[in-house]
Structure formats: structure tokens, C-alpha cells
Amino acid sequence: MTMPLLKVERLRKSFGDHEVLSGIDLSVNEGDVTCIVGPSGSGKSTLLRCLNHLEKPTGGAIFLQGEPVGVRWRGDRLYEMSFNEMARQRQKMGMVFQGFHLFPHKTALQNITEAPIIVKGTPRHQAEAEGMALLEKVGMPDRAHYYPRQLSGGQQQRVAIARSLAMKPALLLFDEPTSALDPELVGEVLAAMRQLAEEGMTMLVVTHEMLFARDVADHLIFMEGGVIVEQGNPREIMTSPRHERTREFLARVLPQAV
Amino acid sequence: MSRPDIHDVTPVPVRRYGQQFGAVVLIVFALLFAQNLATNQNIQWPVVAQYMFAPSILSGLGMTILLTVLAMVIGLSIGVVLAIMRLSDSRVFQGAAWAWIWFFRGVPPLVQLIFWYNLALLYPDLSIGIPFGPKLFIWDTNAVITPFSAAILGLAFTEAAYAAEMIRAGIQAVSGGQVEASATLGMSRSQTLRRIVLPQALRIVIPPIGNDTISMLKFTSLVSVLALPDLLFSAQMVYARTYQTIPLLMVATIWYLVLTTVLTFAEHAIEHRLSEGSPPSKRSFQKRLFDMRPFRRQKEFSA
Ligand SMILES: Nc1ncnc2c1ncn2[C@@H]1O[C@H](COP(=O)(O)OP(=O)(O)OP(=O)(O)O)[C@@H](O)[C@H]1O
Ligand SMILES: [Mg+2]
């Protein structure tokens, strides 16, 4: 049994005295697609944001490729990492946001090439060639020189995915990547994600798209009230959930056809 | 009485009698003023023309431009630092920036210029050394503080205080998602600030910086109290000798107007360039509220 790519142990997070995550344990194997589902307010976004330390966890440990995230041993003492030390680990965990967060003052291609050029020192012509290849992969090579405001929501999200891929992360986090999109634009983003999954990208996806979870995910996690209630094979959980709370949630969100 | 078919006629445009009357009055005043400017012998246009490009006036003009540029560059640089201090989570940095802004916004620039110029009365020498310990370098204050350096200090420090507040507002207007996106791409703090946050903040801040530059150009005329030969002081020097007060003030006025006009155009050009990628303005309907073209044809219907 090989070491999991990402391992989370007893992760806790409170805002003030409001505990949002109450001890999360999970692991993600290389090449796996893991979907996280659960009702609003159950702590899904907070979990993702703790993984790359956009929020500082209150307790527990996170390991990426066996290395503790956000902290560092020196002798037998554990030290917090600074923002800039964290940057190296954040590179390995790309993130795609519900609200895209493209850089509005840069074209689609510049959005993609910016980080490779300034963070990794990739030569511009090489970054641009790779950026064009990524745009092709998400199906919009003809929009390279458009600014984000000139793109539809679905196109913006596909550029955002390409932007994350440009840093060649080991793991890609998605926080409800299609929730801000008009229904007819959801499909194109899911198709791009499905293609990534087929190419073996390791992905951790918070989503309300149950069909995507069923068809693409290798592993499904159901969260409620800051804990993982149930996890396992997506089809098994959807057809025969073991917990009453999972059953209730699925009854609310599952399209009848499943 | 038979009406024509509605599709065959153009409606009579809205009449704007009030605005038409107002426009006529304004035009008459403008003509009177122009005629007066042209014919008033006291202006002495030939003298104006003679001094317009005189070497002393042109070097004064150069000094005014130099002061404006230096004061703005130094002021904006300090302003960026102050803005970042204000936004830091350290109370000490916040407090220091707040104190700077409080002081330099509160004291009139003219008072500051005179104060800086007389710094030697407060501190006869300036030194760099170890706090509470020995001094390593010592300068005579009178050698360091010239009219020029006093002017730069007073103008730049005041500008820094105003710029800090503008830049802080600009930075705060950039959404937090931008910083998060940059962080997840592995950018460091300074990379995020320089490449993502400040360029976006700058766009928001360009119009007020343009205004400040125009104000600064005019504020530089205060340095004439320090006998620093800027545009105004150079003009004063000439009329102190020749008593041609009005013509020389006209020379200075025309040059100031030329400079502010150039700055206004430059600002529009920069604003236009930076607006690439920003959403199109939705103000065209709002403009109708102030539609004041009294003799306008209503083109919408003639199409
Ligand atoms: N910065 C914050 N400060 C205080 N409370 C927060 C903060 N962020 C999240 N919370 C709280 O944590 C809880 C979980 O929020 P979270 O955004 O993780 O839920 P979620 O599962 O992603 O929900 P949704 O499906 O609506 O996105 C909520 O009760 C929320 O109010
Ligand atoms: Mg969420």
C-alpha cells in the first residue's frame, strides 16, 4: 500500500467559539477523484480552505506527499510557516473557486502564464506555449487574448482551471466550480473536469452535481455539521446509504433518474 | 381635420426654451470677455509675448515642473508604504501611519515649507547614529536644508498623507478573492502585491492621482516664499524690476494653464489605457438627466 497523496488527521477549525470542523480524517490517493457533498453550512468550503491554509486550522494535521502542511519540524520543535514558506506548498495544491477570481487586468493567456513566469521563472515563450496548450485542452484556444469580462462564466471557469493547471499541481481543489454558472454553461465546465479526471489528475471536488459525483468520482464523502458522516464508493452510497442523515440528504438532492 | 399617418411624420422635438436662453446669455458674456481681453491696453500683450519664452521664465517653468514631478514621485512612494502600513495587522505600523497622515494633512503646506526651511533653529545639526548611543555621521542642518529640499519635504510629505488614504481605499477595493487566487498559485506576498493587487488598485486611484498632480502643480507656487525661482517667483522677479505686473502675471497664468491642460490630457490617456479589461460604463442613461445641448437635433427619430 503506497502513501496517500493527501492525508488529513483529526482536522478541526473554529471561528471564535463556533466549531465548524470537528475532527476530519480523510486521505486521497494519487490519481483519485474525490467528491465532497453535504448540506449548506456543513463546512465543505472551510475544509478545502484549511487544506491550503487559506484558513488556519485550529487543530489536527495535514500531510501532502508525506510532508506536514503549514508547519515544519526543526529538531524536535514544530514551527508555523510564514506566508512565503507556505507558497511552495500551495503551488502543489491548485484551487478553483466558485467565483473564478480571474485577474481582470490580464488576458486569458496572461492569467495562465503569470504564475509560471513570476513564481517558477519559466521563460515567457515557453510559458505562453504551455498556456496555449492548456487553453486548447479546455476548449478555448481562440479566446487567448480576451479579457475575463469578455468571456462567459463557463469560459472564465475553464480559464481558471487552465490557470491552476499551469503550475503543475499534484492535487487540484475545486470549491463548487459550477454553482455560479447558468445551467446551460455547467456542462462545458464539467466536461473539462471529466477530461482531467480521465488523464489521471488527482482532484478533490466540493460539488452539488450528484451525477458528476456518481459518474466521475472514485470516492464520495458526505459531510454534515463539521464531520464526515459517511464515505466510500459513490454508487454504493447513492443506492444504499448506511446513515439516516445521508439518506435524507440524498432524497433532497438526487435527481429522480438516478 | 385629418391626422397624417403616424408612420409618415417625425414628432416635434422637446423644446428647451430655458436652456436656449441660458446658452445665449453665456455666449454673450464669453464674447464680451474675449473682446475685453483682446482690447484692454493694461494687459500689454506685446510685453506678454516678449516674456513668454524669456530664459528666466523658462527656467522658472522648469523648476515648477521639477518640483511637481519630484514631490509627486516621492509623495506617492511614501504613500504606498503608508497605505500598506495602515492595512497591516500591526498596531504599531497602523499607529505610525495614522500619525503621519494626521500631522501632514492637518498642517497647511505653506506653514510646513517655512517650518522645514527653519529646521536649523530647532535642530542645529542632523546625525545618524545608534539610538541613545554614539553618533556616526553629523551634518550641519543649514547645509542640508536648502530652499529646494525644504520645498520638496513640505510638498512630498503632504502629498504622501493624501496619497496614502487614496491608495488604501484603492487596495481595499480589490476583492479578497484576487489575493486568495494568487496565493493558491504559489505567489509570495510581494508578488501578489506588485503583480495583482497594486495594478488593480492603481486603476481605481489614477483619477484622484491625476487631480493631485494638478493640485501639486499649483501648490508649487507656494515655494516663492522661500525665494526658490519657480515660475511664479521668476515672474515676480521680473515685475519687481520693470513694474509690468499684469503682463507677467499673465505669462505665469498662461503657462500654468498650459501645464494643467497637458496634465488633464495625459490623465485621460492613461486612464483610457488602464481601462482595458474593465467593464463598460453604464452611465449613458444617467447622462440624459444633465442633457444640456439646447440646440440639439433629435437624431434618434430621423434614423
Ligand atoms: N470566515 C468565517 N468567519 C466565521 N464563520 C465562518 C467563516 N467562514 C465560514 N463560517 C461558518 O462556517 C460554517 C461552514 O461554512 P462553509 O462555508 O464551510 O460551509 P459549506 O459547507 O461550504 O456551505 P455551502 O454549501 O453553502 O458553500 C458556516 O456556518 C459559516 O457561517
Ligand atoms: Mg461552500
Please tell me which residue of chain A has the smallest CA distance to B188: A84
Q: Say whether pLDDT at B298 is over 70.
A: no
pLDDT of residue A154: 94
Provide the pLDDT for residue B161: 94
Does the structure show a pLDDT above 80 at B171? yes
Residues 226-255 of A with CB under 8 A from B: none
Beta strands in chain A (DSSP E): 6-15, 18-28, 33-37, 59-64, 67-68, 71-74, 77-80, 93-96, 171-175, 203-206, 219-224, 227-232
| CB of B278 less than 8 A from some CB of A | yes
Partner residues linked to A35 by β-bridges: A205, A220
Inter-CA distances, A105 with A54, A166, B174, B182, B270, Å: 23, 19, 11, 14, 14
Query: Does a structural domain hold residue B31?
Result: no
Percentage of chain B beyond pLDDT 90 is 59
Q: Give residue B283's pLDDT.
A: 54
Q: Give dist(CA B271, CA B35) in Å, integer.
A: 37
| Whole-number Å distance between alpha carbons of B128 and B289 | 61
Nearest CA to ligand 1 atom 13: A41
pLDDT at A247 over 50: yes
Does B242 reside within a domain? yes
A103: closest CA among A119, A115, A91, A85? A115
Q: What per-residue confidence (pLDDT) applies to B265?
A: 92
- Decide if B32 is inside a domain: no
Please report which confidence band the pLDDT of residue B14 belongs to, taking 50, 70 and 90 as the band edges. Answer: confident
Question: Residue B278: is its pLDDT beyond 70?
Answer: no
Burial class (CB in 10 A: 0-12, 13-18, 19+), A193: buried
- Sorted by sequence, the CB contacts under 8 Å of residue B145 that are 6+ apart come out as B116, B117, B119, B120
- pLDDT surpassing 60 at residue B206: yes
Decide if B111 contacts B104 (C-beta within 8 A): no
pLDDT at B280 over 70: no
> If you take atom 31 of ligand 1, which residue's CA is the nearest one?
A41
- Residue B286 confidence (pLDDT): 67
Query: Measured over all CA atoms, what is the biggest interatomic distance in chain A, rounded to whole angstroms?
Result: 57
Q: Is the pLDDT of residue B170 over 70?
A: yes
- pLDDT, residue B12, reads 84
pLDDT in tens, A165-195: 999 999 999 999 999 999 999 999 999 999 9
**Half-sphere exposure of B285 toward its Cβ, with a 13 Å CA cutoff?**
1
Contact by Cβ (8 Å): B83, B168? yes
Residue B302 confidence (pLDDT): 42
What was the pLDDT predicted at A187?
93
Q: Kindly tell me if the per-residue pLDDT of B215 is higher than 50.
A: yes
Using a 6 Å CB cutoff, which residues line ligand 1? A 15, 20, 38, 40-46
Closest-lying ligand 1 atom to the alpha carbon of residue A39:
25
Q: Answer whether B188 sits within 8 Å of A114, measured CB to CB.
A: no
pLDDT of residue B131: 78
pLDDT tier, B16 (very low <50, low <70, confident <90, very high otherwise): confident
Report helix, strand or coil for B176.
helix
Average pLDDT of B101-110?
A: 93
Mean pLDDT, residues A213-230: 95
Residues in chain B: 303
* Beta-carbon separation of B180 and A94 below 8 A: no
Rounded to 5 degrees, φ, ψ at A207 are: -155, 160
3-class SS at A133?
Answer: helix
Specify the residue with its C-alpha closest to ligand 1, atom 5: A15
pLDDT at residue A97 tops 60: yes
- B196 at interface of A, judged by CB pairs closer than 8 A: yes
* pLDDT score at B300: 46
CA A20 to ligand 2 centroid distance, Å: 12
What pLDDT score does B250 carry? 93
Looking at the complex, report in whole angstroms how far the Cα of residue B263 sits from the nearest Cα belonging to chain A: 24
pLDDT, average across residues B243-271: 92
CA distance A254 to A210: 6
Neighbours of ion ligand 2 (CB under 5 A): A 45
- Measured from the alpha carbon of residue A39, the closest ligand is 1
User: Can you tell me which residue has the cell 488602464?
Assistant: B274
Asked whether residue B166 carries a pLDDT value surpassing 70, the answer given is: yes
User: Using an 8 Å Cβ cutoff, are B224 and B233 in contact?
Assistant: yes
In this structure, the strands spanning B135-140 and A33-37 are unpaired
Cell triple for A115? 504564475
- What's the start-to-end Cα distance of chain B, in Å? 28
B247 domain residue, yes or no = yes
At residue A54, what is the residue type? L
Domain range spanning residue B103?
A: 44-128+136-275
C-alpha cell, A48: 478545502
Please judge whether A91 and B177 are an interchain contact, meaning their C-beta atoms are less than 8 angstroms apart. no
Name the average pLDDT for chain B: 87
The pLDDT of residue B295 is 61
**Average per-residue pLDDT in chain A?**
93
Long-range contacts of B65-71 (CB under 8 A, 24+ apart): B65/B259, B67/B151, B67/B152, B67/B155, B67/B220, B67/B223, B67/B228, B67/B230, B68/B213, B68/B216, B68/B217, B68/B220, B70/B152, B70/B156, B71/B151, B71/B152, B71/B155, B71/B156, B71/B159, B71/B216, B71/B220
Would you say A4 and A27 are in contact if contact means Cβ atoms under 8 Å apart?
A: yes
The answer to whether the CB atoms of B199 and A83 lie below 8 A apart is no
Question: Cβ(B236)–Cβ(B63) under 8 Å?
Answer: no
A93:B184 CB<8 A: yes
Cβ of A87 within 8 Å of Cβ of B183? The answer is yes
Chain A residues 60-89 with a CB less than 8 Å from chain B: 83-84, 86-88
pTM for this prediction: 0.81
Percent pLDDT > 70 in chain A is: 98
B188 contact residues in A (CB cutoff 8 A):
83-84, 87, 119
Task: Judge whether B293 lies within some domain.
Answer: no
AA letter at B286: Q
Of B178, B186, B196, the CB nearest to A167: B186
Contact B181 A88 (CB under 8 A): no
Pairing assessment for the beta strands B125-129 and B135-140 based on DSSP bridges: antiparallel
Instruction: Give a yes or no: residue B298 inside a domain.
Output: no
Query: Which pLDDT value is given to residue B230?
Result: 92
Residue B208 lies in a domain: yes
**Which residues face A72 on adjacent strands?**
A79
Pocket probe for ligand 1: among A45, A49, A204, the residue whose CB has the most ligand atoms within 8 Å is: A45
Overall number of domains in chain B? 1
DSSP summary character for residue B259:
H
SS3 A124: helix
- pLDDT computed for residue B301 by the predictor: 43
pLDDT tens for A20-42 read 999 999 999 999 999 999 999 99
Q: Give the ipTM.
A: 0.93
Ligand nearest to the CA of A21: 1
The residues facing A204 across adjacent strands are: A34, A173
Determine, yes or no, domain membership for B56: yes
Flag the least confident range among A72-86, B110-124, B182-196.
B110-124
Q: Which ligand is nearest to the CA of A222?
A: 1
Q: What is the CATH number of the domain that holds B166?
A: 1.10.3720.10
Encoded amino acid at B243, one letter: Y
Distance CA B114, CA B126 (A): 18
Partners of residue A95 in chain B, C-beta under 8 Å: 180-181, 184
DSSP A242: S
Question: Using CA of residue A14, residue A18, residue A22, residue A24, what is the dihedral sign?
Answer: negative
Rounded mean pLDDT, B124-134 = 77
